[in-house]
């Protein structure tokens, strides 16, 4: 036991958790914490320019590493500004630990200056949240927060920390053990595994549908082994991109509304669908009545709430993806020969070749497909792609060939415009050795473009490629397709000049107006030694195609 303040104990607990980087903005109610931070030499604080960006940066950090991302804010508006970022992390099961200052206990509930009821506000959008009422509870709650964020299905945890608790002194000790009482079922039921093995052995047209849960569980290798053993193609959710190298002959790419044709057809025709670490989200399934309608569905997830939530499931398996897949592989090895060939595999191979999307457009204004092709030609397999939300995101998801898990980072469940740029900042802080490229739309980028100040000041050298069509493109696409081209409230106008915007902040800025300019300018951006913005004017009339309309069937997409 050592006498210390709550603020000091907070840093002792954070260091015990291995925290090195924190994104945040101080304010009145968290000054004692920042005062204690002044003495911390091993903790690197990155001052963002908006609290939402701090949450997204922590989220990006968590997704790139699997380790919790941490952010600090003050009370009231500082804390409420976190909410979009926290819900974004919740929807995509990302372990973020957010700590907000709060008004002192003595005035809570009196509408004091910058007081917000954060316990209530954060409650539905976090995996769990706390208010620390007494300094003696602080060390255990901080450790419990990290344990909660990272155990089982990960998720964000918010801690509300009243100012009097930050300054109170007590004899405190950071507990070595965390008193975490929740029981998480990691090992699948052996009987379920036997049933799954039998279903997969008997399957003639099996498909594996892998999602973000596989990445969280570090089970990519198991998915590839299982696919090869079974001779089953792998489709992924948006969150699952990178589970299998997408140039692998069995990888069919993303499933769903803007999925690859081959993936959507394979799922529509398969007789056994093994879903692992997926939510069967409406954007992936389309009309659930016709989703994989010929298939028996096996669903593996660590969160039993997901099993049978969105689609009928013939065999639900509760457990950790890695352990469940390893058990299935063990069972299968006794029964099938490696690399079995079948008419199904021939068909998959043919679909993969014949339905490969076209990217080699030479037109000006530039087609977005071509932009993705050029970016891919410049970046190596270790580069990490982060995306904003909308058309730019779906072009990246559809066309970009991702080779490794945790190398494609995107806002899936919440679809948060403005996520990409601050998230890319978090990714680069976590993985400074990797090239980090934010695939952005002009609309999304402007939602958090103030973070150009943060990346320049902190020398966080990320590159944003702006797919600039001067529209809120995805809304425009829906209006074009489903609202008789009545483009309402979607034109963003001629400003800003993104090159000048970048330069105003001291970042590198340039524009690529012809396809041949993209690759050399992107190389220059990566080498310039500064954060960079590459403005790429694209064809404003280009849609993301194919597209399965909302609630439509996967095998009936709009093609042109």
Partner 1 sequence: MKTRMFSVLCQNVPGVMMRISRSFTRRQINLDSITVGIEPSGLARVILTFKADDRMAEFMRRILARAEPIIDVEVIDPERSIVREIALLKTKKLDEEQLWKVVQKVESAGGKILEDKGNVLIIELSGSHEHIENVVRELGPEILKEVARSGQVLISRETI
Of 1, 18, 110, 120, which lies in the binding site for partner 1, with binding defined by CB under 8 A? Answer: 120
The reply to whether 261 belongs to the active site is: no
In whole angstroms, the minimum distance from the beta carbon of 373 to partner 1 comes to 43
Of 107, 119, 414, 456, which lies in the binding site for partner 1, with binding defined by CB under 8 A? Answer: 119
33 closest CA partner among 170, 165, 171: 165
Q: Is 309 in the site for partner 1 (CB under 8 A)?
A: yes
| Cα gap 44→89, rounded to integer Å | 22
| Cα gap 332→335, rounded to integer Å | 5
Q: Note the Cα 318 to chain centre separation in Å.
A: 23
The reply to whether 479 belongs to the active site is: no
Catalytic residue among 114, 347, 503, 524: 114
Q: Is 181 in the site for partner 1 (CB under 8 A)?
A: yes
The reply to whether 474 belongs to the active site is: yes
Helix (H, G, I), strand (E, B) or coil at 101: strand
| 119-141 exposure pattern, b = at least 16 Cβ within 10 A, e = fewer | eebbeebbbbbbbbeebebbbbb
In whole angstroms, the minimum distance from the beta carbon of 4 to partner 1 comes to 25
In whole angstroms, the minimum distance from the beta carbon of 240 to partner 1 comes to 22
Q: Is 282 in the site for partner 1 (CB under 8 A)?
A: no
Of 15, 20, 128, 134, which lies in the binding site for partner 1, with binding defined by CB under 8 A? Answer: 128
In whole angstroms, the minimum distance from the beta carbon of 138 to partner 1 comes to 15
Q: Is 110 in the site for partner 1 (CB under 8 A)?
A: no
Q: Are 308 and 206 in contact (CB under 8 A)?
A: no
What's the DSSP call for residue 346? H
Give the binding-site size for partner 1 (rule: CB under 8 A).
17
Interface pattern 316-355 for partner 1 (x via CB under 8 A): ----------------------------------------
In whole angstroms, the minimum distance from the beta carbon of 187 to partner 1 comes to 18
Q: Is 494 in the site for partner 1 (CB under 8 A)?
A: no
Q: Is 73 in the site for partner 1 (CB under 8 A)?
A: no
Of 1, 109, 110, 124, which lies in the binding site for partner 1, with binding defined by CB under 8 A? Answer: 124
Q: Are 370 and 519 in contact (CB under 8 A)?
A: no
Q: Measured from the CB atom, is 18 or 124 closer to partner 1?
A: 124
| Cα gap 262→253, rounded to integer Å | 8
Of 71, 121, 131, 409, which lies in the binding site for partner 1, with binding defined by CB under 8 A? Answer: 131
Helix (H, G, I), strand (E, B) or coil at 504: helix
Q: Positive or negative, the Cα torsion across 437, 439, 441, 445?
A: negative
Q: Is 148 in the site for partner 1 (CB under 8 A)?
A: yes
Q: Are 427 and 60 in contact (CB under 8 A)?
A: yes
Q: Measured from the CB atom, is 121 or 417 closer to partner 1?
A: 121
Q: Measured from the CB atom, is 123 or 356 closer to partner 1?
A: 123
Q: Note the Cα 71 to chain centre separation in Å.
A: 17
Q: Positive or negative, the Cα torsion across 79, 449, 155, 136?
A: negative
E strand segments, 175-329: 206-210, 234-236, 251-254, 272-276, 296-301, 315-318
Question: Left (φ > 0), alpha (ψ -120 to 50) or beta: where does 462 sit?
Answer: beta
Q: Positive or negative, the Cα torsion across 419, 422, 425, 426?
A: negative
**Diameter over CA atoms, the chain:** 72
In whole angstroms, the minimum distance from the beta carbon of 168 to partner 1 comes to 19
The reply to whether 404 belongs to the active site is: no
Q: Note the Cα 558 to chain centre separation in Å.
A: 27
Catalytic residue among 8, 163, 373, 521: 163
Q: Tell me which stretch binds partner 1 (CB under 8 A): 170-178, 282-290, 305-313, 409-417.
A: 305-313
Of 73, 93, 94, 129, which lies in the binding site for partner 1, with binding defined by CB under 8 A? Answer: 129
102 closest CA partner among 6, 28, 7, 48: 28
Q: Is 93 in the site for partner 1 (CB under 8 A)?
A: no
Q: Tell me which stretch binds partner 1 (CB under 8 A): 263-271, 298-306, 465-473, 500-508.
A: 298-306
User: Is it true that the peptide bond before 510 is cis, omega within 30 degrees of 0?
Assistant: no
Q: Tell me which stretch binds partner 1 (CB under 8 A): 118-126, 236-244, 503-511, 516-524.
A: 118-126
Where do runs of H (alpha helix) occur along 380-449? Answer: 391-399, 420-430, 442-447
Q: Is 304 in the site for partner 1 (CB under 8 A)?
A: yes
Catalytic residue among 8, 11, 17, 51: 51
Of 1, 176, 305, 343, which lies in the binding site for partner 1, with binding defined by CB under 8 A? Answer: 305
Q: Tell me which stretch binds partner 1 (CB under 8 A): 126-134, 263-271, 354-362, 403-411.
A: 126-134
The reply to whether 130 belongs to the active site is: no
- Applying CB under 8 A, the residues found at the interface with partner 1 are 119-120, 123-124, 127-129, 131, 133, 148, 181-182, 303-305, 308-309
* Active-site residue list: 51, 113-114, 163, 474
């Amino acid at each position: 036991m050592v006498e210390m303040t709550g603020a000091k104990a907070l840093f002792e607990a954070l260091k015990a958790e291995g925290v090195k980087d924190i994104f945040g903005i101080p304010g009145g109610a968290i000054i004692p914490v920042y005062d204690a931070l002044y003495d911390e030499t091993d903790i690197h604080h990155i001052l963002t320019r908006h609290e939402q960006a701090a949450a997204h940066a922590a989220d990006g950090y968590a997704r790139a590493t699997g380790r919790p991302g941490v952010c600090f804010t003050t009370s009231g508006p500082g804390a409420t500004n976190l909410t979009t970022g926290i819900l974004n992390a919740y929807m995509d099961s990302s372990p973020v630990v957010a700590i907000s200052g709060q008004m002192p206990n003595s005035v809570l509930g009196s509408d004091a200056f910058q007081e917000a009821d954060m316990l209530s506000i954060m409650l539905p959008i976090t995996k769990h949240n706390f208010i620390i009422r007494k300094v003696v509870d602080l060390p255990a709650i901080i450790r419990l927060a990290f344990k909660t964020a990272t155990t089982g299905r990960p998720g964000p945890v918010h801690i509300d920390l009243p100012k009097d608790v930050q300054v109170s002194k007590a004899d405190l000790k950071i507990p070595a053990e965390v008193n975490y009482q929740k029981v998480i079922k990691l090992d699948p039921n052996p009987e379920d595994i036997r049933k799954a093995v039998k279903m997969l052995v008997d399957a003639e047209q099996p498909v594996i549908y892998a999602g973000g849960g596989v990445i969280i569980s570090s089970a990519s290798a198991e998915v590839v082994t299982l696919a090869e053993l079974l001779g089953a193609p792998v489709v992924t959710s948006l969150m699952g991109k990178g589970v299998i190298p997408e140039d692998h002959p069995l990888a069919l790419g993303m499933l769903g509304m803007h999925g690859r044709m081959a993936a959507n057809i394979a799922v529509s025709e398969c007789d056994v669908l093994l879903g692992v670490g997926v939510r069967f989200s409406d954007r992936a399934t389309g009309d659930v009545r016709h989703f994989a309608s010929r298939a028996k569905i096996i669903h593996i997830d660590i969160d039993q709430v997901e099993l049978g939530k969105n689609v009928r499931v013939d065999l639900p398996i509760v457990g950790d993806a890695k352990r469940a897949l390893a058990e299935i592989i063990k069972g299968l090895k006794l029964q099938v020969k490696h690399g079995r060939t079948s008419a199904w595999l021939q068909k998959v191979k043919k679909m993969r070749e014949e339905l490969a999307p076209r990217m080699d457009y030479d037109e000006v204004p530039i087609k977005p497909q071509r932009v993705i092709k050029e970016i891919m030609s410049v970046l190596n397999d270790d580069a990490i792609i982060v995306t904003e939300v909308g058309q730019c995101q779906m072009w990246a998801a559809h066309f970009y060939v991702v080779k490794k898990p945790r190398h494609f980072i995107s806002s899936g469940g919440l679809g948060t415009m403005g996520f990409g740029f601050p998230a890319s900042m978090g990714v680069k802080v976590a993985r400074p050795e990797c090239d980090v490229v934010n695939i952005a739309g002009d609309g999304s980028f402007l939602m958090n473009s103030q973070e150009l100040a943060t990346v320049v000041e902190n020398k966080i050298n990320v590159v944003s490629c702006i797919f600039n069509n001067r529209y809120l493109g995805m809304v425009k696409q829906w209006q074009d397709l489903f609202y008789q081209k009545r483009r309402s409230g979607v034109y963003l106008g001629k400003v800003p000049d993104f090159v000048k915007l970048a330069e105003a902040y001291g970042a590198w800025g340039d524009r690529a107006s012809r396809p041949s300019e993209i690759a050399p300018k992107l190389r220059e951006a990566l080498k310039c030694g500064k954060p960079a913005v590459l403005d790429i004017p694209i064809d404003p009339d280009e849609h993301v195609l194919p597209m399965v309309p909302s609630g439509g069937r996967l095998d009936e997409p709009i093609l042109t």
